[in-house]
Amino acid sequence: MGKRKKQAKVLRIFRKVHRTTGAFLFIFFFFISVSGLILGWKKNSNGYILPETQQGTTANLKEWLPVDSLHTIALHTIHDEISHTSFEVDRIDIRKEKGSVKFLFVNSFYEVQLDGATGKVLSIGQRRSDFLENIHDGSIVDDYLGTNGYIKLVYTSVMGISLLIFTITGFWLWYGPKRMKKAKNKAIT
């Protein structure tokens, strides 16, 4: 088999891998791309996707209330304002430079922002970005099935490898014909 035929065969194989992978993973790539695009805009959404960080009264931590007091205020606020069910704090995001602290809750896409020094409620917001991140990285399925992160691990591995395959095969589908044409022109002259 000649060199040109070998190159054409490699191109056909790459085209088939590229097409098959694309067809098989289309819906996943769709969700990743749409959620990633929206997440890219989260801090420029005027608080719709991700609530804007509010300004507290002071960045001096010595003037702040103890974290357990802020924690109690946040729990009472979410309970009274959003739902009378019990909430558990997932994480606390201290924004020293803003003088505020955010409390984010487990199995909820809400946050409560407090002034670190006074405990005053600065905002109660829905974190749509957290839901989108769960879609983007596959953890929404993990949460639903209770698989402790294993589906997310497999999902991100498959999608990362697929993107690598797309990059390699896509490059070769672009470069391969140019290389064949160059070789053909060289053979003619």
Choose one of 105, 126, 147: the last residue of a domain.
Answer: 126
Entry pTM: 0.75
Q: What is the pLDDT of residues 121-142, one digit of tens each?
A: 999 999 999 999 999 999 999 9
The pLDDT value given to residue 1:
59
Write out the two tokens for 138: 């596959």
Looking at the fold, whether 55 and 117 belong to one and the same domain comes out as yes
Report the candidate in 116, 111, 126 with the shortest Cα–Cα distance to residue 49. Answer: 126
Looking at the fold, whether 74 and 94 belong to one and the same domain comes out as yes
Strand partners, 115: 100
Residue 184 within a domain: yes
Residue 46 within a domain: no
- pLDDT of 175 > 80? The answer is yes
Classify the phi-psi angles of 174: left when phi > 0, otherwise alpha if psi is within -120 to 50, otherwise beta: alpha
Looking at the fold, whether 121 and 66 belong to one and the same domain comes out as yes
Q: What is the pLDDT of residues 30-62, one digit of tens each?
A: 999 999 999 999 999 999 999 999 999 999 999
* Radius of gyration for the chain, computed over Cα atoms and rounded to the nearest angstrom: 26
Burial code of 55-75, b = ≥16 C-beta within 10 A, e = fewer?
ebeebeeeebbeeeebbebbb
Q: What is the pLDDT of residues 85-124, one digit of tens each?
A: 888 999 999 999 999 999 999 888 999 999 999 999 999 9
Residue range(s) defining the domain that contains residue 11: 3-41+134-188
The pLDDT value given to residue 189:
66
Choose one of 110, 126, 142: the last residue of a domain.
Answer: 126
The pLDDT value given to residue 124:
96
Handedness of CA 156, 89, 54, 78 (dihedral sign): positive
Looking at the fold, whether 37 and 58 belong to one and the same domain comes out as no
Choose one of 126, 144, 170: the last residue of a domain.
Answer: 126
Looking at the fold, whether 88 and 139 belong to one and the same domain comes out as no
End-to-end Cα distance, the chain: 22
Number of domain units in the chain: 2
Looking at the fold, whether 122 and 149 belong to one and the same domain comes out as no
Over range 54-78, report the average pLDDT.
96
Looking at the fold, whether 64 and 101 belong to one and the same domain comes out as yes
Task: Give me the chain's average pLDDT, please.
Answer: 90
What is the residue-wise DSSP string for 106-165?
TT--EEEEEETTT--EEEEEE-HHHHHHHHHHSHHHHHHHT-TTHHHHHHHHHHHHHHHH
> Count of alpha carbons within 13 Å of 65, Cβ hemisphere only?
19
The pLDDT value given to residue 50:
95
